[in-house]
Amino acid sequence: MVLLSVFSFYEPHASKQSGFYAPRILYWGSQGQDVRTVQDKLLRWGYYDGKVDGVYGARTYRAVRKFQAKNGLTVDGVVGTSTAKALGMATAATTTASTGGVDRKTDEYLLARAIHGEARGEPYVGKVAVAAVILNRTRSSSFPNTVASVIYQPLAFTAVADGQINLTPNKDSINAARDALNGWDPTYGCLYYWNPVTATSKWIWSRKVMLKIGKHWFGV
């Protein structure tokens, strides 16, 4: 597992300043009453053995995966639309974390959120490149096979860990997501990106650098 600090670059001055958030799904690091509801249900059904504290941590993640496996859902540890429905919960999420492969209808906005959280300070081609890396991972046996499960893989992206994934993406981020889904891959198949100035993982330096776009290096 690559540490989250490897993958992300963001503008500190832009963090959560707008106050507008996209509909969220629940993942490792989420907090709130909806997480408490998930924990309570899973506890009563025998999947969860921790405290009902509203904090989505390791035990909640493992319990969700057990529930998904038992109910024929994609086992990604994310409570998206399908998993929430199976839990008998209403959800405002517009993306589906429990469907296989890439679904243009459900994945475009989530990709845009990831771009906005990870690369809104980058040039446009760099935004597309970040989305391309996410899509490339869905096609690699080394990673989960859905956009949501790649993005919400524990410790993979700082934008998820610090909540910036929930900020409303701007027009450039949305357009970049569309371009990536339409097949534009400025990275030519790369599976990793990192900012060499802020990266702290020693492992990432074992990756072969293929190209540089803005402040990010892209590699395999």
Tell me if 4-21+101-219 shares its fold with 33-86.
no
pLDDT (0 to 100) of residue 200: 64
Q: Is 70 helix (H, G, I), strand (E, B) or coil?
A: helix
pTM over 0.75: no
Q: What is the topology classification, in CATH, of domain 4-21+101-219?
A: Arc Repressor Mutant, subunit A (1.10.10)
Right CATH for 33-86 from 1.10.101.10, 3.30.2130.10, 3.40.50.360, 3.30.300.180: 1.10.101.10
Average pLDDT, consecutive stretches of 10 residues, N- to C-terminus, the chain (220 residues): 37 33 66 91 94 92 92 86 83 41 75 94 95 94 89 85 89 95 93 79 77 92
**What is the C-alpha to C-alpha distance for residues 194 and 212, in angstroms, rounded to an integer?**
10
Q: Where are the domains of the chain?
A: 4-21+101-219, 33-86
Question: Over the stretch 59-93, which tens digit does the pLDDT of each residue have?
Answer: 999 999 999 999 888 888 888 888 888 888 865 44
pLDDT (0 to 100) of residue 107: 87
87: tokens are: 């839990």
Distances (CA, A) of 216 to 122, 142, 160: 8, 22, 18
Using only C-alpha atoms, the chain has a radius of gyration, in whole angstroms, of 17
pLDDT (0 to 100) of residue 78: 87
